[in-house]
Structure formats: C-alpha cells, structure tokens
Amino acid sequence: MQLTILGKTIEVPDGDDRPREYKCPKCRDKEYIFYTDENGCEFADPCDCLRRKWTLARFERSGLGELAKRSTFKTYWINTPLQAQIKKAAEEYAEDPRGWFFIGGQTGSGKTHICTAICMRLIKHGRDVRYMRWRQDSEQIREDKFARNDSSKLKAFRTADVLYIDDLFKGDSETPSKQDIKLAFDLISSRYDSQLPTIISSELSIGGVVSYDEAIGGRITEMTKLEHLIYVKQDEAANMRLRKGVHNGN
C-alpha cells in the first residue's frame, strides 16, 4: 500500500485484515458504551467490564483478603433459628445499609463470617469498604501516635464509605485500656457525626460495651436502631468452630 507524506510516496505494509479479538466485545475494550440521545447529545456509560474492574479494586482496598473468599452468605452455616435470624438481618442490612450493624457475643459463632458477607455484598453494590482488625490496627495507630506520626490509617477508618470493625475491644487483657476506649470513642464519634455506615463485631454484648463507655455504647445502639443489634449468648454450643470440628471428626 502506498501513502504520500510531505510530497513523498512511500510503501507501507498492508495491515492484518483479520478481525480484532477484543477482551470485551460489548465495548470493544473502550470500557465505556457511547450513545447519542434523541436530542443529539452524546453520553457514555461505564461498561460491565469496567464495573468489574472497579469492584475488584474496591475488594483489594478493603483489606479483607482471603477472609472474603470463604465468608459469604452461601457458606454461612445455619443450624439454629438464631443463625437463620442473623443471616436474614445481615442480608437486609447489606441491601439497605442505613445506620449500623452490630453483632456481639460467643466466640466462634460466625460473627466475623456474617459481617464479612455483608461487606462483600456491599462491595458488589459499588460501596467502598474498609476492614479494621481492632487488635492489630489499634496497636498500630497507638504506635503511630507514640512516634508522633499522623496516622493515615486512622484517618482512613474515620472517613471510609463503609467501615467494618472486627472484634471491638479484643486485646491482650480482659478489659480495654484507657487508650483503647479513647481510640474507640474517637472513631465511633467521627462516624456517628458523619452518619457513615459501620459494621461492628465484638465478643462483648452492647451492655458490655456500655459498661466500659456509655457514650460509645449509646451511639452504637442509636445507630443500629435496635433492628440490627444482635447478641449471641455465651454458650459453647453456639461455637460453630467447635461444632464443625466435631462433625469433621476433629
């Protein structure tokens, strides 16, 4: 094929006539669908392939990692009426995350599992979720403050679109320290003032939280509107890890 450029005729090889294979045939890898309305105005909507990329990016930012792969609503183990009630309440919140969701009580009862399932559903719906492991992340924030560093992690938790606090007040000692309570109040109050969706799991009941700090417990209670305030009583029979171990012969 001949092309004339600046008065000179040059030979260029013919292109490959085979149809191009697109990763996404729908948008032809442009990531947007372009269209013109009846008034001649041009618009562009994100293609499904771009939405999937956004979802994956939100998942990566959440910090949930491997936990999310095994903790879904489908894999939540239901063996009691309470577990069925918990799943129903969690699915309702995941579809309409107004206010907060709190679940406390028996260790091993699936609290982290059900909260993670909520988070993953919200991520699929387009929400940005951040995961806070109370014990590890609270220690890191305190270390930052001790070193006179401005904790970007705390800022991120305060302002996250959706925040999941896992195992609130879980620590080396049986009772939270004054620093723990101060940090929790800072975080809970910030999110309360901004009315940001917050998901909390704890081995404490809401009464236990109140016993350490009434202001923290009061805010959590108010934001759950009692509709999504759940307590699994301390009972070894409710420990799903132990029950699964028995069923597996362990």
* pLDDT, tens digit (0-9, with 9 covering 90-100), for 205-224: 999 999 999 999 999 999 99
What is the C-alpha separation between 244 and 77, in angstroms, rounded? 9
Dihedral over Cα of 39, 40, 46, 47: its sign: positive
pLDDT-derived band of residue 77, with 50, 70 and 90 as boundaries?
Answer: confident
Give the residue among 85, 87, 80 at the shortest CA–CA distance from 117. 87
Q: 45-49, 127-131, 170-174, 225-229: which range is least confident on average?
A: 170-174
What is the C-alpha separation between 202 and 132, in angstroms, rounded? 12
**More confidently predicted of 9 and 82:** 82
Q: Is the pLDDT of residue 195 over 50?
A: yes
* pLDDT, tens digit (0-9, with 9 covering 90-100), for 134-190: 999 999 898 877 666 666 889 999 999 999 999 999 977 778 999 999 999 999 999
Q: Is the pLDDT of residue 248 over 50?
A: no
- Whether the pTM exceeds 0.85: the reply is no
**More confidently predicted of 236 and 13:** 13
What is the C-alpha separation between 147 and 173, in angstroms, rounded? 23
Q: Is the pLDDT of residue 242 over 80?
A: no
- State the distance between the two ends of the chain, measured CA to CA, in whole angstroms: 74
Q: Is the pLDDT of residue 55 over 90?
A: no
